[in-house]
Structure 1
Amino acid sequence: MSNQAFVIEPAVADHAAVGDVVALSGDEGHHAVTVKRVRAGERIDLMDGRGRRLVTTVETVSKRHLEARVEQVMDEPRPARRVTLIQALAKGDRDTQAVEAAVELGVSRVVPWQAERCVVRWSGDKAQKGRSKWAATVRAAVKQSRRAYEPDVDAAVTTTELSAWIAADAARAVLVLHEAATQPLAEAVTDLMADQPDLTELGLVVGPEGGISPAELEQLTRAGARPVLLGQHVLRAGTAGPAGVVLVRHLVGEL
């Protein structure tokens, strides 16, 4: 069974060496000791979210604090080709479900999209609260999957902002999952890999429950995105993204 994983500050991980004793305190220490019932003698992984993993053995625990001795320091490389999920806001927590699964499946970045037909709207205080909720979901999924890298969570973007983002980087390709597209996702990814060997980021756009409007699809396509078909069935907003992430990461050789 793999070690339980917890997140530590990068500054602590940067200076940790084999034999050092490092502390885990605050909310994360409380979660480890009180919720996860970590005890002295147990091996746990401490990760900084930037690729460094400390394999440790717990020496002491208290109510909100533990100390562990470092047995191994591991630096994991970033994926050569990152996969970004651009997820439209959705009701019933389907968007956060999609984010959670996508992180566990290896996505490198998450972008909330305020699409035209979104029922959920992030405005004012809701924007920061929504982003914070997604960030908490990402961190929990990172620990669940024992990932050394914590994906970034961007601020929510409008369709106009998303279009500008798509057009801004020649080493980035964006695919829009759409039921009316004719080119299969797998074929599009294979073509991109052949045509753009220097590709460093591949984005997947997932629309809301009501679908992507024709005007939005045209705007995204003009910016350089490519509509693609994920499969013969229409998937829910919370399912399409994770399904696409698995296929794309396999095709780019990162899974």
Structure 2
Amino acid sequence: MSLPVFISDSDAVVGKHITVTGPEGRHAVTVKRITPGERVMLIDGSGTTRTCLVTATGGKDRMEVVVESIEEIPAPNPRVTIVQAIPKSERSELTIDLLTQGGADRIVAWQSQRTIARWTGKEAKSLAKWQTAAETAAKQARRATIPEILGVVDAAGVEQLIAESDLAIILHEEASSPFRELTFSGSVVVIIGPEGGVAPEEVERFTAAGAHTVKLGPEVLRTASAGMVALAAIGVLSDRW
């Protein structure tokens, strides 16, 4: 059984002691009821994991550990950025949870033409919620990395991401090119529209910038689940898995 995972930005080496406090300490001591003698994994969110022996706990949020081993997890190839049209509020954090489980390296919030949810004036608060959802899902998925959360971008911002990528694709139900024919390497951008789909004007603009429209499969997926399915397909069709 895999070890419970907690986030710590400590750079301690093997044999060094780390004190985990705050929300992560509370999660370990109060929620997970970790006790001395158990082993846990600490991640820094950037690819480094530390297997640790719990030596003591205290109060409701204090866990003392000693580092037993350190592992550097190599970055995946390709590196996948999901450009996610902002879902409705009730599906927003679920979307991030699924994208994190699927292995997204970067998630960019996109205010698309057909997006119903509007973050005007509350961008920072909304992105913070996405970040929390990503951290929680990363621990649950036993990931060594936590997706980078960025945004909010408009169409021009999406064009910039396309220009910086080795491959950019738009998931589109009317596309003729099947997903399986793509070759994935380097940096990949996957553009996911809202429930109403990517607007024709946006498709035209993004394809002119270098993106390709592709069909993921015969079913029309919800915006909350489309990214995870795409990530799974990329995992099979590339060296990520």
Shorter-normalised TM-score: what interval? over 0.9
Task: State the secondary structure of the residue aligned to 1:174.
Answer: strand
The residue type paired with residue 120 of structure 1 is A
Contact 2:87 2:115 in 1 (8 A): yes
Partner residue, 1:175:
169
Structure 1 residue 57 and structure 2 residue 53: aligned?
yes
Task: State the secondary structure of the residue aligned to 2:152.
Answer: coil
Task: Give how far 1:98 is off.
Answer: 2.2
Contact 1:95 1:237 in 2 (8 A): no
Structure 1 residue 29 and structure 2 residue 16: aligned?
no
Partner residue, 1:120:
117
Give the structure-2-normalised TM-score. Answer: 0.96
Task: State the secondary structure of the residue aligned to 1:166.
Answer: helix
Question: 1:128-177, CA deviations, whole angstroms, 9 ceiling, x for partnerless residues?
Answer: 1111111011100110011111111012111121112212x2x5211100
Contact 2:49 2:72 in 1 (8 A): yes
Contact 2:216 2:230 in 1 (8 A): yes
Structure 1 residue 70 and structure 2 residue 64: aligned?
no
Task: Give how far 1:95 is off.
Answer: 3.4
Task: Give how far 1:93 is off.
Answer: 3.0
Partner residue, 1:196:
none
The residue type paired with residue 181 of structure 1 is A
Contact 1:23 1:67 in 2 (8 A): yes
Contact 2:77 2:238 in 1 (8 A): no
Within 1, Cα distance between the matches of 2:134 and 2:4?
16
Within 1, Cα distance between the matches of 2:90 and 2:192?
15
Partner residue, 1:220:
206
User: Which one of 87, 92, 99 corresponds to residue 90 of structure 1?
Assistant: 87
Partner residue, 1:166:
162
Task: Give how far 1:81 is off.
Answer: 1.4
Partner residue, 2:5:
5
Partner residue, 1:108:
105
Task: Give how far 1:92 is off.
Answer: 4.2
Task: Give how far 1:247 is off.
Answer: 0.2
Contact 2:108 2:150 in 1 (8 A): yes
User: Which one of 139, 152, 155 corresponds to residue 148 of structure 2?
Assistant: 152
Partner residue, 1:210:
196
Give the structure-1-normalised TM-score. Answer: 0.91
The residue type paired with residue 218 of structure 1 is E
Within 2, Cα distance between the matches of 1:24 and 1:98?
29
Larger helix share, 1 or 2:
1
Displaced runs of 4+ in structure 1, greater than 3 A?
A: none
Within 1, Cα distance between the matches of 2:237 and 2:43?
28
Structure 1 residue 241 and structure 2 residue 241: aligned?
no
Q: What is the aligned residue count?
A: 240
Q: Give the stretch that moved more between structures: 129-138 or 158-167.
A: 158-167
Within 2, Cα distance between the matches of 1:83 and 1:228?
16
Question: 1:65-112, CA deviations, whole angstroms, 9 ceiling, x for partnerless residues?
Answer: 110111111111111311111111111432322221121121111011
Question: 1:29-61, CA deviations, whole angstroms, 9 ceiling, x for partnerless residues?
Answer: 111111111111111000111111110110100
